[in-house]
Amino acid sequence: MLMREQMHSYQNYCVKFIEEHPEALLILEMGLGKTIISLTAIKDLMYDEFAVQKTLVIAPLRVARDVWPQEKDLWNHTKDLRMSVLIGSVKERVIALKAEADIYVINRENVKWLVDFFEQHHTSWPFDCVVVDELSSFKNYKSQRYKALRKARPYIKRIWGLTGTPASNGLLDLWGEVAIIDQGKRLGRFIGRYREAYFRPGGMNPYTGVVYNYVPLPGAEEAIYKKIGDISVSMKAKDFLPDLPKCVTVNHMVEMSPAEKKLYESLRKDLVLTVDGDEIDAANAAVLSGRLLEMANGAVYNENHEMIRIHDRKLEMLSDLIEEAVGQNVLIAYWYQHDRSRIIEYLKEQGITVRDLKSSEDVADWNAGKIPVALISPASAGHGLNLQHGGHILIWVSLCWSLEMRLQMDCRLNRQGQTEPVTIHNIVTKDTIDEDVLKALDGKNTTQENLIRAVRARLS
């Protein structure tokens, strides 16, 4: 259980900023604690200042389902906040909506349903505070979710948006995101006026006169940022937060469904049978731990080298983290070959192209910023490989016992020449050997005895 006193000074600064600004943009890099900052502000506003009655959090599905409840329970000063998660079937959402709670968390796809629900039941909008997690998903002012939230906006007294990069696809995105927060006070109420003020046509169909591309006017970026500066914590965190950590490690817990857990347990019991009562020594402990780690990642090979898929929970979290990066380059560390193939396949379905870092050309393209999402194996990364110029976000999908390999991989980004704070993300499957590995790495205790002890515990 973490204590409020353990929060960084920059996090306390952000909490105070939110509390003092009814409309706010919290723009921080991944892993710097936007969720606990928001939970702390909600707690203060509700129970210290009595300025908020009910809060609605809008987030991506898995973030709504997993991250917000987990983060609330992780901290001593927020664990008593009552939270209701509005996901699932319509019946389940209605039950969750009627529950007595301080914070109601809903996935962004159901915002329209929520607004329509209150209208159809002739019920007043009950949330005087709204938090939009991943504000960039509200950049499209023509989307249904945007129009629905815009309809409820006049009844919201406090609102803040959380994002890492608000304009990853260009400054035009900012209009919709800012307008949902301040109702058009700073960048104008209409997108047309915004374009006229800060952009010029960059491409036009000569026959129809339709403009298909806009480019910012000279000085537009500075002018836009100045306009929204009073409600923004910062546009670049490192410029405004002098005590920003140089390297932050964040753990993301994922949990199997009951059916997935049942399959995992069945395969785990098969491993117990292979041991057949023999004493577990260092050699077979390494083999068995490898099998357990494979299963924690979501798949395992059978004796015919056929892959048995158990779950996609880590891949779902990986997709969320890439989205949260909002256009910033991401390096993914994997251990098993089936992890690599499943990552590529899953992300391809999400419209995300992944490239292996194998050749010197791959490394050069990564450092030139040409590879948004890269894959690398710690076993092949080696010593002295310089990757710090291509990005500052590393995601461990597969954990491994080797402390040396772990440190060497982390140092590919966290090394001299890195200009951004490095964020290292561990995706950890709950109630598996992943937790033992993480504990051992944190305590720098990856000895054979610890490995054997962990395997015995997980097989028993």
d(CA 391, CA 368): 9
| Res 235: pLDDT | 45
Tell me the two tokens of residue 57: 């959090």
d(CA 60, CA 327): 16
Is residue 107 within 8 Å of residue 64, measured between CB atoms? yes
Residue 50 CB-half CA count within 13 A? 0
> Each residue of 259-274: pLDDT tens digit?
999 988 888 888 766 6
Judged against a pLDDT cut of 80, whether residue 452 lies above it is answered with no
> Each residue of 32-58: pLDDT tens digit?
789 999 999 999 999 999 999 999 999
Is residue 81 within 8 Å of residue 47, measured between CB atoms? no
The reported pTM is 0.70
Q: How far is CA 388 from CA 225, 243, 379, in A?
A: 28, 21, 18
| Residues forming beta bridges with residue 131, ordered by sequence position | 57, 160
Residue 134 φ/ψ region, left for φ over 0, alpha for ψ in the -120 to 50 degree band, beta for the rest: left
Judged against a pLDDT cut of 80, whether residue 457 lies above it is answered with no
Q: 4-240 and 247-254+309-459 share one CATH topology?
A: yes
**Domain coordinates in residue numbering, the chain:** 4-240, 247-254+309-459
| Res 422: pLDDT | 87
Instruction: Give start and end residues of each alpha helix (H) in 99-246.
Output: 111-120, 144-152, 172-182, 191-198, 220-228, 237-240
Pick from 3, 414, 31, 9: which is nearest to 250 by CA? Answer: 31
| Residues forming beta bridges with residue 253, ordered by sequence position | 428
Is residue 161 within 8 Å of residue 180, measured between CB atoms? yes
Judged against a pLDDT cut of 80, whether residue 302 lies above it is answered with no
Which range is least confidently modeled, 40-54, 124-138, 197-211, 359-373? 197-211
Tell me the two tokens of residue 277: 């009562």
CA geometry: angle at 296 spanning 295 and 302, to 5°? Answer: 5
> Each residue of 112-153: pLDDT tens digit?
999 999 999 999 999 999 999 989 889 999 999 999 999 999
Tell me the two tokens of residue 41: 């502000």
| Three-class secondary structure assignment of 103-122 | EEEEEHHHHHHHHHHHHHCC
The confidence band for 445, taking pLDDT boundaries of 50, 70 and 90, is low
CATH class (in words) of the domain with range 247-254+309-459: alpha beta
| Res 242: pLDDT | 52
Determine whether domain 4-240 maps to CATH 3.40.50.10810: yes
d(CA 459, CA 272): 6
Above pLDDT 90, what percent of the chain?
A: 57
| Res 348: pLDDT | 95
> Each residue of 158-179: pLDDT tens digit?
999 998 777 766 788 899 999 9
| Res 419: pLDDT | 80
Tell me the two tokens of residue 35: 């969720």
